[in-house]
Amino acid sequence: MKKIRKFLCAGFLALPMGVSAQYVGQHLSAIKAETKIDVKAYSFDLQDVKLLESRFKDNMDREGQWMLSLPVERLLHSFRVNAGMLTDKKSSKTKMPQPLGGWEALDMELRGHSIGHLLSGLSFQYASTGNIAFKKKIDSLISGLAEVQATLNEDGYLSAFPQNYIDRNIKGKSVWAPWYTLHKIVAGLIDAYLYAGDTQALDVVNKMAVWAYKKITPLSQEQLALMLRNEFGGMNEAWYNLYAITGNPEHKKLGDLFYHHAVLDPLAAGQDKLNKMHANTAIPKITGEARAYELTGDAKDRSIVSYFWNNVMENQTYVIGSNSDKEHFIAPGKISEYITGYTGETCNTYNMLKITRHLFTWDADVKYADYYERALYNHILGQQDPKTGMVCYFTPLKAGAFRVYSTRDSSFWCCVGSGFESQSKYGEAIYYHNNKGVYVNLFIPSVLTWKEKGLKLRQETAYPEEATTRLTIDSVGAESLPLYIRYPGWANNGVGVKINGENIKVVQTPGSYITLNRKWKKGDKVEISYPMTLHLEATPDDPKIAAVMYGPIVLAGEMGTEAMPPHAPYHDAADPYQYYDYNYNIPANLVHSLNINSSNISELIKAVKGGVLTFKTTGTTNGKPVTLEPYYNLHRQRYVVYWDLN
């Protein structure tokens, strides 16, 4: 597996979220292009990390059930219609499959994108669980797509819409992001090949690449520039990933052709021109440049990625780790002016986490793991409604707003698609490794198996509901092996570390790694505790507007359901801006002001006895107590995240 790791773990597929050893381990010849950069940390395969019972596993299980419940015939229907195929193949008495709704409806120009996300999500679920039901679903979908591709007989073109959409895009005519949709399909096929061992998927995607190469290599630079003005997702990343598998220079050329000069050149020059730019059009381009850097070693690509990430963290990121207002980047640093009902498109955070994983493997810097934790707990985990498994598009931060969730088969927004992936790969960033030892980056109940070192490491915790996580060595080789335990930047109250019950002196400081290096024995136990405290995090441009946090967790005030529409919080309109209105019908008397500051917060906000991460504040301006709980837990009601401080 060493060769695989050199190829993959430096960043492939967002620093691979787990390649199925049952497949790749027997097909080393599949690895054609190795990374050209030095790597500080490698990702583990998804199959090497098993989630134990927790909210994360619950979310993943709900997402898996949803994906399995979507009928193959309905998912393929629009593809078959586009190919002029008979959609009722069994008999004249068989009920015709109904097309899916929302963004997958037959009159939507983005139709077909969800099947790509589904292939990725199903593949991650299969790698994480080994459940053969996911594999069978993948194989059925790809068999159907291969049949559509053969029927179309257009040099390998495959989509649920005609090539005319691409032609319109190339000419600069109005069309809704056809390359974006194709990116999802290409990425899903690659994931199915790597994580589920579906060789037909590689055949289908190779044929798509043949078509794409013929389609766009004859274009002039002016034509390419016009084409790339339209959103194309991470098309560059997908072609680079295919090149890494095949070594075919045409596939690398395709990735190069999706270099968008208008967006990327200013970033390479250290110029911030993000204001008003459509955020999720820009972010996936950066992931593509991360792959380009790993495959070529070109320092320009690295500078683009690093500058972009640092800029977004400093100037664009809300307290929950999200970014964007009404899908666009805001004026740099002006967070307080953009606290609306349309903040935090969830796709953006999904893609920022992909970039973050690349950066972590290059440098093994704890700041990347700190951001990953914040965004994962406060945004991604809370994207899913635990009652139904449905997911939200925006994560509104306007005082008194509420989350609005998709429906099962009648919305299929972009964030439904990325949610299929995000909610299916929680094991991807808990652990990393270098040549010697293991990084423990996230405190999520799980079992890690590192076959090369004979290590089986079990992590048990109720974090963040408790401050302590416990690591047990279930098996280990004879050599010394360091554990690098993340010492979060937020943990200013210190840390307690015990090995087999004995206190260990810690010399490191927050924002670093605690190294525990020894010859471990089976049954050895490590206990790490990070005391959490209440604190305020103000917006960078206005210290009088702030969120309440407990350790890394954003707390939100419960505001009830007054004046919420009867069908809230679920909605299936194709346009997410048609949720209700920009004001969410917020009651005029809703309180969102606190008489609190950093010095008296612990006096005015108290833990609720017997509650779990539940607090009450009497510091409201009207004197009425408000219950605070983690933002990721607050569903189907109004809330306040950012408070006006008096």
Question: How many CA atoms does the CB half-sphere of 371 hold within 13 Å?
Answer: 25
Domain harbouring 506, CATH code: 2.60.40
Q: What angle do CA 204, 187, 83 make, to 5 degrees?
A: 45
Res 196: pLDDT:
96
Q: pLDDT by residue (tens digit) across 490-527? A: 999 999 999 999 999 999 999 999 999 999 999 999 99
Res 618: pLDDT:
87
Shared domain for 558 and 525, answered yes or no, is: no
Residue 634 makes CB contacts below 8 A (sequence gap 6+) with 382, 556, 558
Q: Are 544 and 519 in contact (CB under 8 A)?
A: no
Shared domain for 503 and 623, answered yes or no, is: no
Element (H, E) at 472: strand 468-475
- The answer to whether position 133 is within a domain reads yes
Give percent above pLDDT 90 in the chain: 87
Q: Are 230 and 175 in contact (CB under 8 A)?
A: yes
Range of the domain at 580: 534-645
Q: pLDDT by residue (tens digit) across 314-352? A: 999 999 999 999 999 999 999 999 999 999 999 999 999
Examine the fold and report which residue of 192, 224, 258 is the final residue of a domain before the chain moves on: 258
Lowest mean pLDDT of 207-211, 369-373, 564-568, name the range.
564-568
For residue 437, pLDDT over 60 is answered with: yes
Q: pLDDT by residue (tens digit) across 211-220? A: 999 999 999 9
Shared domain for 81 and 194, answered yes or no, is: yes
Shared domain for 635 and 512, answered yes or no, is: no
- The answer to whether position 147 is within a domain reads yes
Res 569: pLDDT:
82
Shared domain for 525 and 551, answered yes or no, is: no
Could you give the CA distance from residue 575 to residue 355 in angstroms, rounded to a whole number? 28
- The answer to whether position 601 is within a domain reads yes
Question: How many CA atoms does the CB half-sphere of 11 hold within 13 Å?
Answer: 38
Helices (H), 98-131: 113-129
Measured N-to-C along each axis, helices 346-363 and 279-296 cross at an angle, to the nearest 10 degrees, of: 20
Q: Are 182 and 235 in contact (CB under 8 A)?
A: yes
Res 623: pLDDT:
84
Q: Are 430 and 17 in contact (CB under 8 A)?
A: no
Residue type present at position 637: Q
Element (H, E) at 503: strand 502-504
Q: pLDDT by residue (tens digit) across 572-588? A: 666 666 654 556 889 99
For residue 109, pLDDT over 80 is answered with: yes
Q: pLDDT by residue (tens digit) across 141-184? A: 999 999 999 999 999 999 999 999 999 999 999 999 999 999 99
Res 338: pLDDT:
98
Examine the fold and report which residue of 220, 243, 258 is the final residue of a domain before the chain moves on: 258
Helices (H), 197-298: 199-216, 221-227, 235-246, 249-257, 261-268, 279-296
Res 263: pLDDT:
98
Beta pairing class for 481-487 and 438-440: parallel
Lowest mean pLDDT of 144-148, 436-440, 442-446, 607-611, name the range.
607-611
Q: pLDDT by residue (tens digit) across 563-574? A: 998 777 877 666
Reference 211, options 167, 272, 271; nearest CA is: 167
Q: Are 341 and 401 in contact (CB under 8 A)?
A: yes
Count: domains in the chain: 3
For residue 116, pLDDT over 80 is answered with: yes
Residue type present at position 505: K
Shared domain for 444 and 591, answered yes or no, is: no
Residue listed under structure tokens 């490491």: 457
Residue type present at position 529: S
- The answer to whether position 505 is within a domain reads yes
Shared domain for 123 and 159, answered yes or no, is: yes
Exposed, middle or buried, 556 (CB in 10 Å: 0-12/13-18/19+)? buried
Question: How many CA atoms does the CB half-sphere of 318 hold within 13 Å?
Answer: 32
Shared domain for 505 and 549, answered yes or no, is: no
Q: pLDDT by residue (tens digit) across 615-628? A: 999 888 888 999 99
- The answer to whether position 445 is within a domain reads yes
Residue 434 makes CB contacts below 8 A (sequence gap 6+) with 40, 41, 42, 364
For residue 548, pLDDT over 90 is answered with: yes
- The answer to whether position 384 is within a domain reads no
Residue with the bigger pLDDT between 550 and 95: it is 550
Res 27: pLDDT:
36
List Cβ<8 Å contacts ≥24 apart for 96-101: 97/71, 97/73, 98/74, 99/74, 100/70, 100/74, 100/75, 100/409, 100/410, 100/412, 101/407, 101/409, 101/410, 101/411, 101/412, 101/572, 101/574
Could you give the CA distance from residue 498 to residue 412 in angstroms, rounded to a whole number? 48
Q: What is the mean pLDDT of the chain?
A: 92
Shared domain for 449 and 509, answered yes or no, is: yes
Examine the fold and report which residue of 258, 292, 311 is the final residue of a domain before the chain moves on: 258
Res 578: pLDDT:
62
Residue range 52-72: average pLDDT? Answer: 98
- The answer to whether position 439 is within a domain reads yes
Residue type present at position 1: M
Instruction: Report cis status (omega within 30 of 0) of the bond before 576.
Output: no
For residue 12, pLDDT over 60 is answered with: no
Res 35: pLDDT:
85
How many residues does this entry show for the chain?
Answer: 646
515: left (phi over 0), alpha (psi -120 to 50) or beta: beta
Shared domain for 232 and 93, answered yes or no, is: yes
For residue 30, pLDDT over 90 is answered with: no
Res 18: pLDDT:
36
C-alpha to C-alpha distances, 56 to 52, 144, 402, nearest whole angstrom: 9, 32, 22
Res 567: pLDDT:
75
Q: Give Rg (Cα) of the chain.
A: 24
Claim: this prediction has a pTM higher than 0.75: yes
Shared domain for 513 and 549, answered yes or no, is: no
C-alpha to C-alpha distances, 425 to 24, 56, 185, 350, 443, nearest whole angstrom: 19, 10, 18, 11, 15
- The answer to whether position 17 is within a domain reads no
Shared domain for 519 and 543, answered yes or no, is: no
Residue range 187-193: average pLDDT? Answer: 98
Could you give the CA distance from residue 66 to residue 124 in angstroms, rounded to a whole number? 14
